[in-house]
């Protein structure tokens, strides 16, 4: 399994130059090595020791993986600082997890309370996947998303709360986070276009009625609309996203 983990790192990280560097300088790999040892002891029912190994691993790598979590082969935790994986979480083969990711629970319920990730799943930096939910195979979760519901296979999930934005993305580049849709900006853009249409209708009604504005009122309204349009345009271009 270690060889599979090493091979996956070389395939996915262009900064990986030689096996010695990867083995000693990649905290994600080191955390997985410690976890596999702790998980084996955890399944044997040993008290204290598995959690202590997990604690030491967290201190050395910044990655916290509960010994009870089930992690498949070829999983790559890139950078990894701040990653938290709960006790009943299941991570499928060849998943890619970036820094700041949480695979956690939503309360103090007992039993299965953490998410299950399928194979070839990509979880972007800072994303939170919470609760006993099912994430299908080849799902991409955008950076900073908060996923609280199941996600079917071959989809992209973004936003707070996470929403499925793309179906059957079989050919999507797993590392191309810049190509993930921004659903909130799209909705705001649609609302902005609707408001502009309503403004034109109101302007037309004013021109055809006896309720005409004075010249100063017209100028003030135009200036206000111009400022609002500039702010909204800046937001949609990325300033506020």
The pLDDT of residue 184 is: 66
CA 36, CA 20: separation in Å to the nearest integer?
20
Note the Cα 87 to chain centre separation in Å.
20
Pick the CATH number of 2-179 from 3.30.70.1280, 3.40.50.10420, 3.40.1190.20, 2.160.10.10: 2.160.10.10
Task: Map out the domains of the chain as residue ranges.
Answer: 2-179, 183-236
β-bridge pairing 163-167 and 155-158 = antiparallel
* Least confident window among 75-89, 93-107, 203-217: 203-217
| Exposure of 13 in the CB half-sphere (CA atoms within 13 A) | 25
- Give strand ranges (E) for 36-171: 64-65, 70-71, 76-77, 84-85, 90-91, 96-97, 102-104, 116-117, 122-123, 128-130, 134-135, 140-141, 146-147, 155-158, 163-167
β-bridge pairing 140-141 and 155-158 = parallel
- For 18, counting Cβ atoms within 10 Å of its Cβ (0-12 exposed, 13-18 middle, 19+ buried), the class is exposed
Per residue in 76-100, pLDDT (tens digit) is 999 889 999 999 999 999 999 999 9
pTM over 0.95: no
């Amino acid at each position: 399994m270690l060889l599979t983990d090493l091979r996956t790192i070389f395939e996915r990280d262009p900064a990986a130059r030689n096996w010695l560097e990867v083995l000693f300088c990649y905290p994600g790999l080191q955390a997985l090595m410690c976890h596999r040892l702790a998980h084996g002891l955890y399944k044997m029912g040993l008290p204290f020791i598995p959690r202590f190994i997990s604690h030491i691993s967290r201190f050395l790598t910044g990655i916290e993986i509960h010994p009870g979590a089930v992690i498949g082969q070829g999983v790559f935790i890139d950078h990894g600082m701040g990653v938290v994986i709960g006790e009943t979480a299941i991570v499928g083969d060849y998943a890619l997890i970036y820094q700041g990711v949480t695979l956690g629970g939503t309360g103090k319920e007992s039993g299965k309370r953490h998410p299950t990730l399928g194979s070839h799943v990509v979880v972007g930096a800072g994303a939170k996947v919470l609760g006993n939910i099912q994430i299908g195979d080849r799902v991409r979760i955008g950076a900073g998303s908060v996923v609280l519901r199941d996600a079917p296979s071959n989809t992209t999930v973004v936003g707070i709360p996470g929403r499925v934005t793309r179906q059957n993305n079989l050919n999507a580049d797993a590392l191309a986070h810049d190509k993930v849709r921004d659903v909130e900006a799209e909705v705001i853009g649609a609302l902005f276009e609707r408001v502009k249409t309503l403004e034109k209708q109101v302007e037309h009604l004013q021109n055809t009625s006896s309720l005409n504005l004075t010249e100063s009122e017209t100028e003030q309204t135009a200036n206000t609309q111009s400022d609002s349009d500039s702010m909204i345009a800046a937001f949609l271009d990325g300033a506020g996203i």
